[in-house]
Structure 1
Amino acid sequence: MKMNGNEIRQGNIIKHQDSLWIAVKCNAVKPGKGGAFNQVELKNILDGRKLNERFRAAETVEKVRLDQKPHTYLFAEDDMLVFMNSENYEQIRLQSEFVGDSAAYLTDSMEVEVEFYEDRPISIALPATVVLEVAETEPVVKGQTAANSFKPAILSNGVRTAVPPFVGEGERLIINTEDGSYVKRAD
């Protein structure tokens, strides 16, 4: 699907210079002299390179459509993570570095979305939040309130985060998988 250069938005995936790029930042610029353009910071999906490009309204780029398929996380084997397609039960193995830091939030039987381009996995999307237990934190001090102060904690998956002072060890919390931040206590 073709689109004009000024229509590129953050999160769009485009084909540019014979590779796949995701728009990380977009800034519409209207200088006093000359025509307007879209200043776009691109990140190569396949190898991680970054590129800054100017796209004018008259230029066209190809917007890429990715196939999203539901998968279930099964287990880790050495440095590979095994997922099963929820529709046809085929298994795929992905390098743990492909998933990145988000791999720490994977739990058995977790439902994820794997994006494919021409039957090649491009990215993986975890649920927005997960429930984890606090493995280690400073003890609760009587009289502390939920003011804008936080204390360090280590979660059951080994990830460090900041939690409110009233949270103690063994409590179950809802954690944001994107940045590892505390959301709220789990019910």
Structure 2
Amino acid sequence: MPDFVSGPPEFEKQARETALKVIASSLRKGNVVEIDGKLHVVLTATNFHPGKGTPTTQVDLRRISDGNKVSERWKTTEQVERAHVDERAYNFLYEDGEGFHFMEPESYEQVVVSPDVVGDDKVFLEDGISVFLQVHNGVVIALELPQKVTVEVVETEPVVKGQTASSSYKPAMAHNGVRIMVPPHIGVGTKVIINTADLTYVERAKS
């Protein structure tokens, strides 16, 4: 695993000193949490609310020190240590052989993010998109996308006249290659808003 994935020991100490307890259900992709003295980046966080039993939060994480992926399940109201690191908004510029380049809009400071940190989120990195980067000593350890983005449908089944029931969603392909489910009245060329965390349809984008 490349060196830029690892976090230096002093970073682990500093982050622990600024940790904040939050409930598990509030965790989002890109958050940094402490488990057994090690910092982890949240990759996915899903809340389960069974008809009977205790609501739980299933979280997939990447351990910063070695890049290994782990999973945890907590009660939704259980307290989790969320670490506060340097988090700022950056605009995406371009990708090249070095990685993904971002710029801080106020200072014009530029940073390069490794493909390991960006992961599957690269499909959403289009010119000018604003994301939050968690940075320590110039090294980006996590990326957090906007909660919602607009995509254009480039492939789906034809619109069925008179069919508007939202319960019968159909598969579609967005312009960035992401597969989503959309209502039957959504056709090719339509722009829609989706959640980046789980790729679910939110609404038709307003033109």
| TM-score after normalising by structure 1 | 0.73
Shift of 1:16: 3.9
- Partner Cα distance (1:41, 1:183) in 2: 23
What is the CA–CA distance in structure 2 between the aligned matches of 1:9 and 1:156, rounded to whole Å? 36
Kept in 1, the 8 Å contact 2:111–2:138? The answer is no
Q: Deviation digits for residues 14-65 of structure 1, max 9, x if unmatched?
A: 2744x3235879xxxxxxxxxxxxxx9884234134377xxxxxxxx98632
Residue 127 of structure 2 aligns to a residue whose secondary structure is coil
Distance 2:131 2:64 in 1: 19
Q: What's 2:202 paired with?
A: 183
Structure 1 stretches (4+) deviating beyond 6 angstroms? Answer: none
Name the counterpart of 1:132: 151
2:86 alignment partner in structure 1: 67
CA separation of 1:78/1:138 partners in 2, compared to 1, >3 Å: closer, same or farther?
Answer: farther
Contact 1:15 1:64 in 2 (8 A): no
Alpha-carbon shift at residue 118 of structure 1 (Å): 4.3
Instruction: Give yes or no for the alignment of 1:97 onto 2:102.
Output: no
TM-superposed CA distance for 1:96, in Å, is 2.6
| Aligned-partner Cα distance in 1 for 2:109–2:130 | 15
Q: CA deviation at 1:122?
A: 1.5
Identity of aligned residues (%): 35
The 1:22/1:171 distance shift into structure 2, 3 A limit, reads: closer
Q: Deviations over 1:82-133 (max 9, x none)?
A: 1112232121111233112221112211111101234431111111111111
RMSD between superposed Cα atoms in Å:
3.2
- Give the secondary-structure state (helix, strand or coil) at the position aligned to 1:140: coil
Runs (5+) with no aligned partner, structure 2: 1-16, 47-57, 73-79
Q: 1:14 aligns with which of 13, 16, 34?
A: 34
Query: Which residue pairs with 2:139 in the alignment?
Result: 120
Corresponding residue of 2:64: 45
The structure that has the greater radius of gyration is: 1
Q: Aligned letter for 1:157?
A: N
CA distance in 2: counterparts of 1:163 and 1:73, whole angstroms = 27
Change (3 A) 1:133 1:42: closer
Alignment partners' CA distance in 2, 1:81 and 1:2: 28
Structure 1, unaligned stretches of length 5 or more?
A: 26-39, 53-60
Give the counterpart letter for 1:120 in structure 2: V
- Partner Cα distance (1:150, 1:74) in 2: 35
CA distance in 2, matches of 1:41, 1:145: 35
For the residues of structure 1 that align with 2:125 and 2:140, how far apart are their CA atoms? 17
C-alpha deviation, 1:78, in angstroms: 4.0
